[in-house]
């Protein structure tokens, strides 16, 4: 009878493992550690959630939006500057084209003016041609005035220092009247429109006095 009571009493108690550890007490302790955040599945969990909270925080989002706004403003300013430069270049090109649009026409008309000058130079005085020569001179002067009205003027020649930018030398000759390096004869008058040479002057350049 005594043996039966002892077995029944042992069945009512929680069994222990081989090392004599109470399993209920062990699981209770594990639950307490897990609740405190010290369990094996909680290692690093709090840090990860904190980093996610930092990345998704309103302050971080505002900072990112401000950086994007600064970048967009910088791009806008660069695009506006490039557009303004393009507009200025286009206007300058159009102005240049309009400014010198009549150069080809003037170049052709200069040949007509040259023929008028040759006619005047080759006219023989007397024999009733004085009136005709005077009329041709009037036409020639009117021609020059019209060219000047459109900013096409003669390039100074005889007596001026030789300038390779506006003069084209065809020969050199000694001269006691003109110093060396100056234009002594002008075979063809040159013309310039605004600051561009339409046709250079064909000149003879003095080399100075022959004795020197």
pLDDT tens string 179-194: 999 999 998 899 999 8
Residues 121 and 147 in one domain: yes
Residues 116 and 160 in one domain: yes
The answer to whether residue 52 sits within a structural domain is no
Domain containing residue 168: CATH number: 2.30.22.10
- pLDDT exceeds cutoff 50 at 14: no
Residues 76 and 156 in one domain: no
pLDDT tens string 114-154: 999 888 888 777 767 778 888 889 999 999 999 999 899 99
pLDDT tens string 43-95: 544 445 444 455 578 888 888 888 989 999 999 999 999 999 999 999 999 99
pLDDT tens string 145-178: 999 998 999 999 899 999 999 999 999 999 889 9
Q: How far is CA 61 from CA 57, 97, 186, in A?
A: 6, 54, 81
- What is the span of the domain harbouring residue 91? 57-99
Q: What angle do CA 113, 191, 130 make, to 5 degrees?
A: 30
Q: What is the DSSP letter of 190?
A: -
Last residue of a domain, one of 77, 99, 121: 99
The answer to whether residue 115 sits within a structural domain is yes
Nearest to 123 by CA among 136, 111, 113, 114: 136
The answer to whether residue 17 sits within a structural domain is no
- What average pLDDT is seen over the chain? 79
Is residue 161 within 8 Å of residue 193, measured between CB atoms? no
The answer to whether residue 1 sits within a structural domain is no
Residues 80 and 150 in one domain: no
CA–CA distance, 199 with 124 (Å, rounded to integer): 29
Q: Find where tokens 């206007």 sit.
A: 91
Q: In the chain, pLDDT over 70 holds for what percent of residues?
A: 72
Residue 36 is predicted with a pLDDT of 57
How many domains are there within the chain? 2
């Amino acid at each position: 009878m005594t043996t039966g009571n002892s077995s029944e009493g042992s069945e009512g108690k929680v069994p222990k493992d081989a090392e004599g550890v109470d399993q209920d007490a062990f699981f209770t302790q594990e639950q307490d550690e897990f609740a405190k955040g010290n369990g094996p599945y909680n290692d690093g969990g709090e840090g990860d959630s904190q980093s996610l909270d930092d990345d998704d925080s309103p302050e971080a989002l505002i900072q990112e939006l401000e950086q994007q706004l600064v970048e967009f403003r910088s791009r806008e300013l660069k695009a506006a500057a490039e557009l303004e430069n393009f507009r200025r270049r286009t206007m300058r090109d159009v102005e240049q084209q309009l400014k010198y649009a009549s150069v080809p026409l003037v170049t052709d008309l200069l040949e007509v003016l040259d023929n008028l000058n040759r006619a005047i130079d080759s006219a023989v005085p007397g024999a009733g041609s004085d009136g005709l020569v005077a009329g041709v001179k009037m036409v020639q002067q009117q021609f020059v005035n019209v060219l000047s009205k459109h900013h096409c003027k003669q390039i100074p020649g005889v007596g001026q220092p030789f300038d390779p930018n506006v003069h084209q030398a065809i020969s050199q000759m000694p001269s006691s009247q003109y110093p060396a390096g100056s234009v002594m004869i002008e075979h063809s008058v040159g013309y310039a429109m605004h600051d561009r040479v339409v046709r250079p002057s064909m000149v003879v350049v003095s080399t100075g006095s022959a004795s020197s």
